[in-house]
Amino acid sequence: MRNSGKTQKSKPRNGLVAALDVGTTKVCCLIAKPGGDHGPRIVGIGHQISKGMRNGVIVDLDQAEASIRTTVEAAEQMAGENIHEVIVNLSGGRPKSRLVAYEVAIGGHEIGDGDIQRILDPANLAQEIPDERELLHRIPMGYGVDGNRGVADPRGMYGERMSVNMHVVSALRGPLRNLEAVIRRCHLDLEGVVVSPYAAALGCLSEEEKALGVTCIDMGGGTTSVAVFFDGELVHTDVLPIGGAHVTKDIARGLVTPLNHAERLKTLYGNAMASANDDRQLIQVPSVGEEETPEAHTVPRSVLVGIVKPRMEEIFELVRDRLKQGGFDQVAGRGLVLTGGASQLPGAREMADTVLNKQARFGRPLAMDGMAEASAGPTFAACAGLLQYGLGHRAEETGAEMPQSAEPQGRFGRIGQWLRENF
C-alpha cells in the first residue's frame, strides 16, 4: 500500500523503471525490469478510469491522486515490488515547441565533452523561456563550428565559436506543478516529465519512420497531440484540447441520450465516413432521464454518422492548420501514424489521409517482453513511450546499451537537411 503517510524521497532504487500515463479518460502504469536475455521485461501493469482530469489538465487533485494511487498499486501488486519514482507525461500547460540557436566561444582549443555540456546547459535558455513557463525538453539537432553548420558531433574539432540548434519544449508552470504535487502526494518521486505527444511517438514509431520523417497523432479522450520527426529527431510537438470525449458529448447532446450510451453507440456504430447503407440501418437510442428502464427511440445510423463526422473533421482540420502555421505540414513527408483510443473510430484513418494529405497507419505500442494483450492497444502507446524514455534515461545514467527507440534528452542528434536549410 502506498498510503503510509510518510514521504519516500530519494529511496534507494530497486532497478525497476516505471511509467505513468495520466490521461483524461484513463490512467495507466507500466513497470519494467531492465536487462534480461530478451531486453527489458514488463513486470507490472495497472489501468484505471481517470478522475479529476479535463483535457489533459488536473482539475481535482484529490480525485487525480486516488486514480493514480489505485493504478500504481495494481501495477506494483502484479510486479510484486513497490516503485519509488515514475516517468510521467504532461498534456496540460499548453506545451510549446520552439527551435532555438545558441553559441559559445571556444577560443581555438579542441572541443571536448565539457564544451558540449556548457553549450547545452539549460541555464543558457533562461532568456528564451518566459517566467510563467518551464523547460521540459531540449533536444540538440546539430552543431556548427565557426559558421560551418551541419556538424553532427563537434568533439575533437578546433574552432573559435561553436553553435547548436535545439528543439526546446516548454510548458506553463502551474499545470506542471499540479502534476508534480499529485505524484508527490502518492509518495512517488518524479524521474522525468515527458510531453505527451513525444511519449506517444516513442511508444509506437519505428526507427525507420523517425529517420524518414513522420507525423504522429495521438487522439485521446480530451486531447489530440502531435509529434513531428525529421531525420531521426523530434522537431515539433503540439497538444490540442479536443479529443474523443467531445465526439461522445456531441452524440449525447444530438441524440438526447446519456453519456454512457453515447459512448457505446459511438464504439458500436460510429464512423467518421458516411456510407450508402447508413440511412437503412436503424439504431436504438436510450432516452435521457429514463435510466432504470430506458425507453429507446430509433434513428437511422446516418444521423449518428452525421454527428460524428463533422467533429472528427474539425479535429483533423485543426491539426492540419496548426501544422501549417508552424511550417511543419510538409517537412516530415507523407508518413502519418495514428494512435490513442479515439483513433480506433472506424473511418478515422481514411479521414486523416484525406484532410492531412498523408498516408496513415495505426500505431500500437512497440513489442516488449511481458506486454499483455490488454496493454498492446493504441491507448497504451503513450505509456509504452514513457517506459522507453525511462529505460533510455537509465541506460544513459549507467552507461549500458540503449534500448531501441529510446530518446533520452541530451543525446547528440544528427542535423537534418530541413534544419540546415531553414534554421
Ligand X SMILES: Nc1ncnc2c1ncn2[C@@H]1O[C@H](COP(=O)(O)OP(=O)(O)OP(=O)(O)O)[C@@H](O)[C@H]1O
Residues that bind ligand X (CB under 6 A): 23-26, 50, 56, 91, 220-223, 243-245, 248, 263, 266-267, 340-342, 344-345, 379
State how far the Cα of 328 lies from the Cα of 91, in Å rounded to an integer.
20
| Among Mg ion, ligand X, none, partner that 92 touches (CB below 5 to 8 angstroms by kind) | none
Q: Is 23 in the site for Mg ion (CB under 5 A)?
A: yes
Cβ atoms 102, 124 nearer than 8 A = yes
50 versus 163: smaller Cβ distance to ligand X? 50
Smallest separation (angstroms) from ligand X to the CB of 45? 15
8 versus 267: smaller Cβ distance to ligand X? 267
Q: Is 413 in the site for Mg ion (CB under 5 A)?
A: no
Smallest separation (angstroms) from Mg ion to the CB of 225? 8
| Among ligand X, Mg ion, none, partner that 95 touches (CB below 5 to 8 angstroms by kind) | none
170 versus 339: smaller Cβ distance to Mg ion? 339
Q: Is 92 in the site for Mg ion (CB under 5 A)?
A: no
Q: Which residues neighbour 369 within 8 Å (Cβ) at sequence distance 6 or greater?
A: 36, 38, 39, 40, 41, 42
82 versus 196: smaller Cβ distance to Mg ion? 196
Of 190-249, binders to Mg ion (CB under 5 A) are 220
21 versus 407: smaller Cβ distance to ligand X? 21
Among 254, 222, 201, which Cα is nearest to 384's? Answer: 201
| Among Mg ion, ligand X, none, partner that 344 touches (CB below 5 to 8 angstroms by kind) | ligand X
27 versus 395: smaller Cβ distance to ligand X? 27
Smallest separation (angstroms) from ligand X to the CB of 122? 27
Smallest separation (angstroms) from ligand X to the CB of 299? 19
Smallest separation (angstroms) from Mg ion to the CB of 243? 8
| Among ligand X, Mg ion, none, partner that 245 touches (CB below 5 to 8 angstroms by kind) | ligand X
212 versus 376: smaller Cβ distance to ligand X? 376
Smallest separation (angstroms) from ligand X to the CB of 207? 24
Smallest separation (angstroms) from ligand X to the CB of 162? 39
Smallest separation (angstroms) from ligand X to the CB of 16? 23
Q: Is 385 in the site for Mg ion (CB under 5 A)?
A: no
Quick note: the x/- pattern for Mg ion over 46-85, rule CB under 5 A, is ----------------------------------------
Where on the chain is the footprint of Mg ion (CB under 5 A)? 23, 220, 382
